[in-house]
């Protein structure tokens, strides 16, 4: 009888734990759903406003669904300023920065994560410590350097300083230290050089981390505003964020919010495309890189 009572007690305890876990899961999902909806509302409102007339935007109480969608707003916004040029500038800069970071960060991550040399860990920690230096501290010295090189009002200041990043090096290093050394050792026995091992063996195994770094780098470069605002003054060299500001500044009397919302909508389309197609690698790279240890 005592045994049955103990079993019943254990069963009730297990059921209580399961119910608490289920309740916790439901609460977590509810919080995530509410958070997702709150994040989607500004985006959906932007798309909705891009299809309204200006009078409809100022209507109170506001309407979420346009009464008569104004698809012509997108064409008017595209032709009001040279948005095609802005798109090309942003695409070119972001593409060059992504390629540069994938190359430099993967090579630095390979050196810090797979090679052994005196002072490796100290150099890595010192390099990583530069993450704590805010951009405002190096902004003026960096501008002076760009001016000395004659790069002011060109696209080079947006590319060259951005292809070296301690965060990208940290991400690649964290991923590489968890790769098995047997493949690398076998290649070294066969006479492969360090670069051959890096290029032919290590790099193909780091696709999730490369995709993660590429997505983050593209997003950061595409949305960069302050530094381009400082070094770029010519209209034909402006990127998308500067182009949106230039578009708004050209409207002297009344701000055409419907056109600004239309311009903002198609300015984020490349970001959505990159994230949708790179989502699998993005999530996998974040999870895998976060759990790797030192080596």
**Which residues, in sequence order, are CB contacts of 92 under 8 Å at separation 6+?**
155
Of 85, 90, 91, 77, nearest in space to 247 by CA: 77
Orientation of helix 83-114 relative to helix 240-249, angle to 10°: 150
pLDDT of residue 1: 46
Dihedral sign from CA coordinates of 216, 218, 222, 227: positive
Can you tell me the distance from the alpha carbon of 118 to that of 155, in angstroms, rounded to the nearest whole number? 38
Of 168, 175, 172, nearest in space to 288 by CA: 175
pLDDT of residue 12: 65
Burial of 122 (0-12, 13-18, 19+ CB in 10 A): exposed
- Which residue, chain included where needed, has tokens 């301690």? 166
Across the chain, which has 295 residues, the per-10-residue mean pLDDT values are: 57 69 84 88 86 81 81 84 89 95 93 88 90 89 93 93 91 86 82 85 87 88 91 91 83 74 86 80 61 48
Question: H helices of 81-206, where?
Answer: 83-114, 120-129, 135-148, 156-159, 166-176, 181-189, 194-196, 203-205
pLDDT of residue 293: 47
pLDDT of residue 294: 46
Can you tell me the distance from the alpha carbon of 287 to that of 293, in angstroms, rounded to the nearest whole number? 13
Can you tell me the distance from the alpha carbon of 139 to that of 161, in angstroms, rounded to the nearest whole number? 11
Q: Is the Cβ–Cβ distance between 174 and 213 less than 8 Å?
A: no
Q: On the CB side of 57, how many CA atoms lie within 13 Å of its CA?
A: 19
Of 238, 214, 76, 211, nearest in space to 155 by CA: 238
- Which residue, chain included where needed, has tokens 């994560």? 113
- State pTM to two decimals: 0.80
Can you tell me the distance from the alpha carbon of 184 to that of 207, in angstroms, rounded to the nearest whole number? 17
- Which residue, chain included where needed, has tokens 């182009």? 243
Q: Is the Cβ–Cβ distance between 139 and 145 less than 8 Å?
A: no
Of 268, 239, 218, nearest in space to 88 by CA: 239
């Amino acid at each position: 009888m005592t045994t049955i009572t103990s079993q019943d007690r254990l069963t009730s305890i297990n059921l209580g734990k399961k119910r608490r876990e289920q309740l916790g899961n439901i609460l977590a999902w509810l919080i995530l759903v509410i958070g997702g909806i709150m994040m989607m509302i500004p985006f959906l409102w932007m798309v909705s406003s891009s299809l309204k007339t200006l009078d409809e935007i100022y209507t109170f109480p506001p309407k979420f669904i346009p009464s008569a969608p104004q698809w012509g707003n997108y064409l008017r916004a595209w032709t009001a300023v040279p948005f095609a040029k802005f798109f090309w500038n942003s695409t070119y800069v972001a593409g060059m920065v992504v390629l540069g970071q994938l190359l430099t960060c993967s090579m630095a991550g390979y050196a810090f994560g797979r090679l052994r040399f005196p002072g490796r860990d100290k150099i890595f920690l010192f390099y990583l410590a530069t993450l704590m230096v805010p951009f405002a501290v190096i902004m003026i010295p960096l501008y002076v350097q760009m001016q000395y090189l004659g790069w002011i009002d060109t696209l080079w200041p947006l590319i060259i300083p951005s292809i070296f990043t301690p965060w990208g090096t940290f991400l690649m290093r964290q991923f590489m230290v968890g790769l098995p050394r047997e493949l690398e050792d076998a290649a070294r026995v066969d006479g492969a050089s360090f670069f051959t091992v890096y290029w032919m063996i290590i790099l193909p195994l780091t696709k999730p981390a490369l995709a993660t770094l590429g997505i983050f780098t593209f997003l950061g470069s595409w949305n960069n505003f302050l530094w381009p605002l400082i070094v770029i003054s010519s209209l034909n060299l402006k990127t998308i964020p500067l182009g949106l500001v230039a578009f708004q500044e050209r409207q002297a009397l009344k701000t055409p919010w419907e056109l600004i919302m239309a311009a903002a909508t198609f300015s984020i389309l490349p970001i959505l495309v990159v994230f949708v197609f790179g989502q699998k690698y993005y999530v996998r790279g974040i999870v895998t890189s976060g759990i790797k240890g030192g080596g």
